[in-house]
């Protein structure tokens, strides 16, 4: 998770975190699954660690930091940087350029590299680009930047204001890394819900049309079942990615958990639910029975309230800012 939370500027181990993040970026495009996992865990542990680390021995005492990463930390403490970051091959730099195109994953980036593509212009010539990738190229410089928290808030407020005129009973929540307290966000995630309006698919189209007419949304990438991915901007500012969900009020709690994340937190809370004989998804908490490998969904036992879901799972409520797993 490369998003920086509010206190991150004063993190005592920020330089180490930045160096490890750079390595993580490299392993991400290389598709090194084990290192991705251990670097993510280590970085998130370091973000919570309150004091400046003095040596490898101290690093090893932190839960989530193993031998290899502790060595990297010692290297940094000895020479002021991590050698591996000073020798980044051209191939990795190219993969990172491709990976920064919205709609391109690390697998596709590697496939293109293997096929001989080296520049964004090489990519532009391809005839098999998805709509997301075409927009990703069109707005490449803008979309690879993270969005300041204040702008996420500003765009959110603007959207809420515009929609309230037409749908006074529509409620909006700003979700994702913003709700977790991040100082910068990769995109703008929103939930719309209502106690009174029926959330039919036409409403979705209407919301998109309304935001387009208001010159906030500039492109839609997909409008699928109750989720929209698009591009927006305000005041001729940079183009930003926006995602929104339309959520029935009785599913709001489950949707809040899902769309707050982060993805690792979701994975662990879903695993916890499964261990207790439940199934948790973005619609609710269900009783579940396992038959072999298959999970049979039973009765829905909660959905409208985040707190209730935590309670039924038998764990204390975790505020969003503590879900940066």
Residue 303 interacting entry, from Mg ion, Mn ion, ligand DCP, none, C-beta within 5 to 8 Å by type:
none
Name the closest residue to Mg ion (Cβ).
Answer: 176
User: Do β-strands 188-194 and 240-248 pair in parallel, antiparallel, or remain unpaired?
Assistant: parallel
Residues of this chain that interact with Mn ion (CB under 5 A) are 187, 189, 243
Cα(first)–Cα(last) distance of the chain, in Å?
Answer: 9
Report what 151 binds from ligand DCP, Mn ion, Mg ion, none; CB cut-off 5-8 Å by kind. none
| Phi, psi values for residue 3, rounded to 5° | -75, 140
Q: How far is the CB of 179 from ligand DCP (least distance, A)?
A: 8
> Smallest gap, in angstroms, from Cβ of residue 185 to ligand DCP?
4
Please list, in sequence order, all residues whose beta carbon lies within 8 angstroms of the beta carbon of residue 111, skipping any fewer than 6 positions away.
none
Residues 144 and 316: their CA atoms lie apart, in Å, by 36
Residue 258 CA to residue 279 CA, distance in Å, equals: 13
Nearer to Mg ion, 25 or 187 (CB): 187
Secondary structure of residue 82 in the 3-state scheme: coil
Give the Cα-Cα-Cα angle 140, 143, 149 (nearest 5 degrees).
Answer: 160
Site track 155-194 with ligand DCP (rule: CB under 6 A), x = hit: ---------------------xx----x--xxx-x-----
d(CA 70, CA 93): 26
Q: Annotated catalytic, 84?
A: no
29 binds, among Mg ion, Mn ion, ligand DCP, none (CB under 5 to 8 A by kind): none
Q: Active-site residue among 4, 6, 57, 72? A: 72
Specify the 3-state DSSP secondary structure of 164: helix
Q: With binding defined as CB under 6 A, does residue 259 bind ligand DCP?
A: yes
Q: Which of 170, 266, 278, 284 binds ligand DCP (CB under 6 A)?
A: 266
Shortest Cβ distance from residue 305 to Mn ion (Å)?
23
CA dihedral 105, 107, 112, 115 (to 10 degrees): -170
Residues annotated as catalytic (active site), given as ranges:
72
State the residues that interact with ligand DCP by CB under 6 A. 3, 176-177, 182, 185-187, 189, 243, 258-259, 261-263, 266
């Amino acid at each position: 998770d490369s998003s920086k939370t509010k206190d991150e500027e004063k993190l005592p181990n920020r330089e180490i975190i930045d160096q490890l993040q750079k390595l993580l970026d490299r392993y991400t495009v290389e598709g090194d699954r084990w290192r991705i996992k251990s670097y993510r865990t280590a970085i998130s542990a370091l973000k919570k660690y309150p004091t400046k680390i003095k040596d490898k021995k101290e690093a090893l005492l932190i839960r989530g930091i193993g031998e290899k990463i502790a060595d990297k930390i010692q290297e940094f403490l000895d020479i002021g940087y991590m050698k591996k970051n000073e020798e980044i091959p051209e191939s990795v730099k190219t993969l990172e350029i491709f990976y920064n195109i919205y709609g391109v994953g690390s697998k596709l980036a590697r496939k293109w590299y293997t096929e001989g593509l080296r520049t964004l212009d090489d990519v532009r010539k391809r005839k098999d680009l998805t709509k997301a990738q075409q927009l990703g190229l069109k707005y490449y410089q803008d979309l690879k930047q993270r969005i300041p928290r204040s702008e996420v808030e500003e765009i959110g407020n603007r959207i809420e204001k515009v929609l309230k005129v037409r749908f006074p009973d529509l409620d909006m929540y700003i979700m994702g890394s913003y709700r977790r307290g991040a100082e910068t966000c990769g995109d703008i995630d929103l939930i719309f819900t209502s106690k009174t309006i029926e959330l039919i698919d036409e409403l979705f189209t209407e919301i998109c049309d309304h935001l387009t007419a208001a010159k906030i949304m500039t492109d839609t990438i997909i409008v699928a079942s109750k989720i929209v991915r698009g591009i927006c901007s305000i005041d001729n500012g940079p183009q930003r990615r926006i995602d929104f969900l339309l959520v029935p009020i009785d599913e709001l709690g489950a949707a809040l958990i899902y769309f707050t994340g982060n993805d690792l937190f979701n994975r662990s809370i879903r695993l916890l639910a499964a261990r207790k004989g439940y199934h948790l998804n973005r619609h609710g908490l269900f009783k579940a029975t396992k038959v072999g490998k298959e999970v049979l969904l039973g009765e829905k036992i909660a959905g409208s309230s985040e707190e209730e879901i935590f309670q039924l799972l038998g764990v204390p409520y975790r505020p969003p800012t503590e879900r940066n797993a």
